[in-house]
Amino acid sequence: MRKASDSKIFYGWFVVVAGFIIAFAGLGVVNSMSGVLLVPITEDLNFTRGEFTLHRTVMVLAGALFTPFYGKLYQRFGVKVLLLISSVSVGAITFAYSFSTNIWHFYLLALLNGVFISGPGFMTIGYLINNWFEDKRGIAMGVAYAGAGFGSASLIPVSNWIMEQFDWRVAYRFSGIVVMVLLIPTILFLVKDKPEDKGLKPYTSKVKEAAKKKTEPAKMEIQFSKAIKSPMFWMLFLAFFLLSIMAGGPNFNLVPYLTDIGYTAAFAAIVMSVVMLAHTLGNISLGGFFDRFGMLIGSVFLGICCIVFPLLALNAEIPIFIWLFALFYGPASAGFAVPVAIFVTTYFGRKDFAIIFSVLNMAGMLGTALSGPSMAIIFDITGYYFWGWIMLLGFGIIITACLLGAYLINRRA
């Protein structure tokens, strides 16, 4: 069996490209729709904004419930067939939204979408890259996951233009077609479940492997049944749940917060664009940080970002703090996605990677479902976002404690 060094370009990097496209279409397209089409749909069909945004919560919760099943199915049937079925389904359901006339149509389609959305999502990408990479897993994961940010950033203006020129129904149909046109050939021609399918071994670097052995604990092979009885597992579960709230809360509430404290809507939109770019770059930088410095320094860095960005938001009346906020928020907002596979492989091994990874990914999806409403509800009760940022600051402290606690438990094992 050939090693990665036997060919000029290791095929795993083509899998990373496939992961980028999957994130671009499967996540970026879906995420770009809700915000752009919220006002046109609610005005056209006479829904309240709360009624319409609830359909996204239904989708995320359904996705969270079905995610663990994907881990078991991948172990039994492999990735390619299931990924193809789920991707076609997501594209078809996105197209089907265009025929909705009642709010329950959106809820029903959201429920169906939730069943399949984990296919062309972070969990599948993480599973593939974990199979293909021993070294450089973090940077490979970060590059692939960055597709979601690029997808949202590029497709939001396109969807908005289509909506203005035609209507929201055409925008949904366009997005559904884009999902299928991009994902079907990518899955058929680029996706390979594991290196053995190409006569290869996972990407490894002998120099880096030797260096890691001096600083990192030996990898253990822990079964899922044993993992869920470990405090380390539940520390990570809580950390990724809270990380997803920290990522999603500002994403939904930053623009109204900035306008509330005196900035113009135009300036707030520019800041949001910069924040989206920071999130995209944060995926890459966070993965590279874990690759280069290891689990302890990576955990400390992520914890610092989670603590600092709410403090900067609380002082956003000073303009420089807004841009510093974007700088620290970028890696923090990637924390519930990029590091999950790295933590699972390092702390639990590869034996039951798929099911452990899927359950921890479920924690992130549950947090995502609560992220937007959590800060908004605090605002509705108090009339200010101040306590929302204090909540995130507290979460940042808990996340840091959980990540460091998991590291120490793993060191002692």
State pLDDT tens for residues 161-213: 888 889 999 999 999 999 999 999 999 999 999 999 888 999 887 655 555 54
8 CB contacts (<8 Å, ≥6 apart)? none
Q: What is the mean pLDDT of residues 103-132?
A: 92
Whole-angstrom distance, CA of residue 242 vs CA of residue 234: 12
Q: Tokens 């590869």 label which residue?
A: 350
Mean pLDDT for the chain overall:
87
Which pLDDT does position 179 carry in this prediction? 94
Which pLDDT does position 220 carry in this prediction? 67
Q: Which domains can be identified in the chain, with CATH numbers?
A: 6-198 (1.20.1250.20), 210-412 (1.20.1250.20)
Whole-angstrom distance, CA of residue 287 vs CA of residue 334: 9
pLDDT grade for 214, boundaries at 50, 70 and 90? very low
Which pLDDT does position 278 carry in this prediction? 85
Which pLDDT does position 136 carry in this prediction? 87
pLDDT grade for 215, boundaries at 50, 70 and 90? very low
177 CB contacts (<8 Å, ≥6 apart)? 91, 95
Question: Side chain identity at 260, as an amino acid letter?
Answer: D
| pLDDT tens digit sequence for 32-82 | 676 667 778 888 999 876 788 788 888 888 988 888 888 888 888 889 999
Which pLDDT does position 266 carry in this prediction? 77
Q: Tokens 């006339």 label which residue?
A: 101
| pLDDT tens digit sequence for 301-353 | 999 999 999 999 999 999 999 999 999 998 998 888 888 989 999 999 988 88
> Is the four-CA dihedral 115, 117, 120, 125 of positive or negative sign?
negative
Token pair, residue 58, equals 């239904």
Tell me the range of 37-51, 118-132, 142-156, 394-408 where mean pLDDT is highest.
394-408
